[in-house]
Amino acid sequence: MAHIKPFCAIRPNPKIELQFCSKPFQLYSKKELKSTLENCPNSFLQIIKSNINKTTKNSNKKRFEDVKTAYQNFKDRNLLQKDQDKGFYIQEIKINAHKFTGITAVASVEDYKNGRIKRHENTLESRETIFKNYLKTTRFNAEPVLLTYKNTAALSEVIKDVKKCPETSVLKFSENETLKLWQVTNKELIDQIIKGFENTDALYIADGHHRSASSVMLSEEEPKKAETNYFMAFLIPEHELIVQEYNRVVTDLNGLSVSSFLKKIKLNFDSTPHKTYAGSKKGKGFCMYLDGQFYSLSLRKKFVKLQAPLHQLDSYVLQEHILKPILGIENVRTDSRLQYAHKSDQMKWIKKQIDNKTYAVGFGLNPVLIDQLKSIADNSLVMPPKSTYIYPKLRSGTTIYEF
C-alpha cells in the first residue's frame, strides 16, 4: 500500500510559465546557460543561479539563502502563485515522438523508510546532507522525484477521464517538446487516485535518489512539521519510462599494451571482432572499441551467475571483470580515468574520441530493463553508478511544493 496526497502547488503566473519552467541546469550547454541567465529574467534558473555558479567564494549557506531570497522575490512580484485548492497535477510530456503521462503528488517519507518506495542506487551521505540543508533553508522543492509503478486499469481510466477535460495549461517549449497540465481538484477523482495507489504494492525510484533521501533526513530533523513528512513526486507507469544505457570510456589501459589487455580480457570473455558496431542482443554481451577495432564481449559461462540480479547487468559485469581487476579502477564513482557517455550517437562519439586518442578504450552497454531495475530494488541491492539514463527528464518549476 503506497500513500500519496494532493497538495496546493505554487505555479508560475500564466504570463511567464513558458519562460519559467526550466530543464535541469545540467542539461544546458554552457552557451545555453549563459544566454538564459542573461536574457530570460523570468526563468526558474534565475532563482537558483547562485547554486549554478559555484565559482564564487560564498558558502553553501549563503548560496541557499540567496536562492530563498530570489524565490521570495518572484512570489512578491506575483510571478508565482499558490493554488487555492489541494489537487493532483496530471502532466502529459511530449518529447519528439514519445509521450509520457504521470501524476504529480506528494509521496510519503514513511513509505521510503519502510521500503514501500524502493531504490536501486546508493546515495552519498555528504550529498544528502548538502541537499537537506538546501531544503531546510529554501523550504521548497521545484523538481519532483521520478517514481514509477505497475499500471492498473483503475489508474489508467482516471487519467483518461481527466485528459478528456480542458487543460489547465499547455506549454510548447519547441517543435519537439510540449507539456500539458491538468489540475485535479474534484474530490471523487482525487479519492480514486489515492485508492489506486493504495492498491499498489510498491513505488520505485527511477530518478531522484539523493532528493528523496535528503527529504527523509529533513523529516527526521523536523518530525513535528507535517509538510516535511512528504516530498514532491512525479508518478509514471513503468511501461512509459525510457531507460537508456550509460556507456563508459577509460583514458588509459593501466600500463598494459593493447595485446596484453586483450589477453587479459580473453581469460574471462569470449571476444569477437567486428568491422563496425552492430550492437548486441540482451544476454549476449556488450561492445568494446579499442585501437580502431570493435569487439563484442560475452562473459564465459563458468563466470555467469544466472540467478543473481546484479550479474544480469552489463555495468556490473564490466565493473567486476574488467574495470577493477584489469584496469585498476577500484572506485568507479570517483576515479577520474573513467568517464560516462549517454549521447544519442554514443558509439560513434566513443569511436571518434578513441580515434583522437582522448580515451584508450570504450564500452557500449545494453540498457537496463525495467524488470531488472525492480528485481535489484526488491532484493535491496544497488546498481553500479550511472547504470541508467532515464526519460522523461522533468522541467523544474512546473509545480512547486512548499514546506
Per-residue pLDDT of the chain (403 residues; tens, 9 = 90+): 899 999 999 999 999 999 999 999 988 999 999 999 999 999 999 999 988 876 657 799 999 999 999 999 999 999 999 999 999 999 999 999 999 999 999 999 999 999 999 999 988 889 999 999 999 999 999 999 999 999 999 999 999 999 999 999 999 999 999 999 999 999 999 999 999 999 999 999 999 999 999 999 999 999 999 999 999 999 999 999 999 989 999 999 999 999 999 999 999 999 999 888 755 554 568 999 999 999 999 999 888 876 789 998 999 999 999 999 999 999 998 899 999 987 656 788 999 999 999 999 999 999 999 999 999 999 999 999 889 999 999 999 999 999 9
Q: What is d(CA 2, CA 54) in angstroms, rounded to the nearest whole number?
A: 38
- Does 299 fall in a domain? yes
| 253 and 124 within one domain | no
| 262 and 208 within one domain | no
Domain hosting residue 339, numbered range: 246-366
Alpha helices (H) in 21-152, listed in sequence order: 30-39, 49-52, 60-76, 109-113, 125-138
pLDDT score for 56:
59
Specify the residue for cell string 544497488: 382
Q: What is d(CA 140, CA 106) in angstroms, rounded to the nearest whole number?
A: 12
| 258 and 351 within one domain | yes
| 254 and 136 within one domain | no
- Does 319 fall in a domain? yes
Residues paired with residue 294 on neighbouring β-strands, in sequence order: 274, 289
| 256 and 228 within one domain | no
Which SS3 state, helix, strand or coil, does residue 230 take? strand
| 45 and 140 within one domain | yes
| 309 and 279 within one domain | yes
Note the residue count of the chain.
Answer: 403
Cis peptide bond N-terminal to 385, omega within 30: no
| 176 and 267 within one domain | no
Contacts 24+ apart (CB under 8 A), 208-211: 208/143, 208/144, 208/145, 208/146, 208/233, 209/119, 209/121, 209/122, 209/123, 210/123, 210/124, 210/127, 210/128, 210/131, 211/131, 211/141, 211/143, 211/145
Helices (H), strands (E): how many in the chain?
13, 21
pLDDT score for 170:
98
- Scored b (16 or more CB within 10 A) or e, 1-36 reads ebbbebbebbbbeeebbebbbbbebeebeeeebeeb
Which SS3 state, helix, strand or coil, does residue 389 take? strand
- Scored b (16 or more CB within 10 A) or e, 323-349 reads beebbebeebeeeeebbebeeeebbeb
- Does 380 fall in a domain? no
| 252 and 239 within one domain | no
| 323 and 230 within one domain | no
- How many domains is the chain partitioned into structurally? 2
pTM of the model: 0.91
- Does 385 fall in a domain? no
| 197 and 131 within one domain | yes
- Does 384 fall in a domain? no
- Does 371 fall in a domain? no
- Does 310 fall in a domain? yes
Q: What is d(CA 282, CA 133) in angstroms, rounded to the nearest whole number?
A: 42
In order of 76, 249, 293, 299, 361, the CA distances from 267 in angstroms are 66, 21, 19, 9, 18
- Does 386 fall in a domain? no
- Phi first, then psi: what are they for 282, rounded to 5°? -55, 130
Contacts 24+ apart (CB under 8 A), 175-178: 176/95, 176/96, 177/93, 177/94, 177/95, 178/93, 178/94
pLDDT score for 289:
96
| 181 and 268 within one domain | no
pLDDT score for 333:
84
Q: Are 247 and 347 in contact (CB under 8 A)?
A: yes
